[in-house]
Amino acid sequence: MMHMNRLFEFLKENFPRCKIAWSELLPRIVWKHSQKNSAMNRERYRINRAGFSKARECGGFRIKHPEFKNRKLLASDGVHLSQVGNDIFLRNIQSAIVTALYAGVTLSRFKQPMATR
């Protein structure tokens, strides 16, 4: 956690206008080097809370991935994402970035004018 805090402070000091996005750590079926899934999930929750809290302090935001409660989005190894899971994950990231970039700006401003016939 100390390294994460230092990283956030570095970003805040050196890039004061940047938006920091905290993408939540995803659940897994299998955790490397641990047989205690419940303990690892508690730690995952703790890290997600701390990461989002620090990102918010720096003016950032959180990217949630609620779809990943569905274990079918994981590959057969229980760790990596399936192709569909990867597509959903990347869509969540893209959507969050677009939302952050255009926050406070009406989308109608970016619409193309209708072609006249």
Q: How many Å apart are CA 95 and CA 113, to the nearest integer? A: 24
Domain membership of residue 63 (yes or no) is yes
Domain membership of residue 110 (yes or no) is no
- Phi then psi for residue 63, to 5 deg, are -110, 110
The domain spanning residue 85 has which CATH number? 3.40.50.12700
Task: With H, G, I as helix, E, B as strand and everything else as coil, classify residue 54.
Answer: helix
Domain membership of residue 28 (yes or no) is yes
Domain membership of residue 10 (yes or no) is yes
pLDDT tens column, 64-73: 999 998 889 9
Domain membership of residue 35 (yes or no) is yes
pLDDT tens column, 33-52: 888 888 998 999 999 999 99
Amino acid at 72: K
For the chain, what is the domain count? 1
pTM above 0.85, yes or no: no
The boundaries of the domain holding residue 67 are: 2-105
